[in-house]
Chains A and B, each alone.
Chain A
Amino acid sequence: QVQLVQSGAEVKKPGASVKVSCKASGYIFTRYAMHWVRQAPGQRLEWMGWISAGNGNTNYLQKFQDRVTITRDTSATTTYMELSSLRSEDTAVYYCASSRGDYYGMDVWGQGTTVTVSS
């Protein structure tokens, strides 16, 4: 079945970087877009950016423009989200979610990866 499996929880110090992976299976990887969404404790969902798994084009939320990089490895059907210069406000659950296109919403989600930023 279609599923996205994310890497495990991370604890990082302020100023460090974190790289979260999202392994896709059960569908043709390059036909979908992969989005990254985060949720800080008790807060709303926040869309961070997305990558076209087919051509690798990306688009990021402006507030993360200088700190986030989303990449993909088509041979491994895996997408990566790297966030640098971490601060305490980046403590959140990070989700990957796939979409057939802008009209279809994000229909498959990973289980989430908790990233804790603490000194």
Chain B
Amino acid sequence: DIQMTQSPSSLSASVGDRVSITCRASQTISSHLNWYQQKPGKAPNLLIYAASSLQSGVPSRFSGSGSGTDFTLTISSLQPEDFATYYCQQSYSTPHTFGQGTKLEIK
């Protein structure tokens, strides 16, 4: 199985900050990398698919980059509604494994 490792596991930031979360795959996954946002008690919400494609309806302050084994999710200017947990997920091969999550908290 492909292992997905995110860093950091938690992050404190302020409204207006630019933040980045990284995700590393244990083997190459081409661009089959997705990012999700999850708020407490809610289902995950797809933000980015295919490493860098913005899902319809998602604000443009979210962006994704990378290919192969190393990927990054960037939020250009944090808004209050962005404080949540973020997960990467590979869809290159089954099982479609998730990272352990990054909890983004208000500083």
Contacts and interface: CB of A to CB of B under 8 A. Distances in A.
Given A44-B99, A104-B50, A105-B49, A59 B94 contact: yes
Contacts, number: 69
Contact of B101 (A44, A62, A102, A103): A44
B97 interface: yes
A103 B50 contact: yes
B87 A45 contact: yes
Interface residues of B, number: 26
Contacts of B16: none
A107 B46 contact: yes
B100 interface: yes
Given A102-B92, A106-B34, A107-B55, A44 B49 contact: no
Interface of A: 35, 37, 44-47, 49-50, 59, 61-62, 95, 97, 99, 102-107, 109-112
Given A46-B98, A49-B95, A111-B43, 20 more contacts: A35-B96, A44-B99, A44-B100, A45-B44, A45-B98, A47-B96, A47-B98, A50-B96, A62-B1, A102-B96, A105-B48, A105-B89, A106-B34, A106-B44, A106-B46, A107-B46, A109-B43, A109-B44, A109-B45, A112-B43
Interface of B: 1, 31-32, 34, 36, 38, 43-46, 48-50, 55, 87, 89, 91-92, 94-101
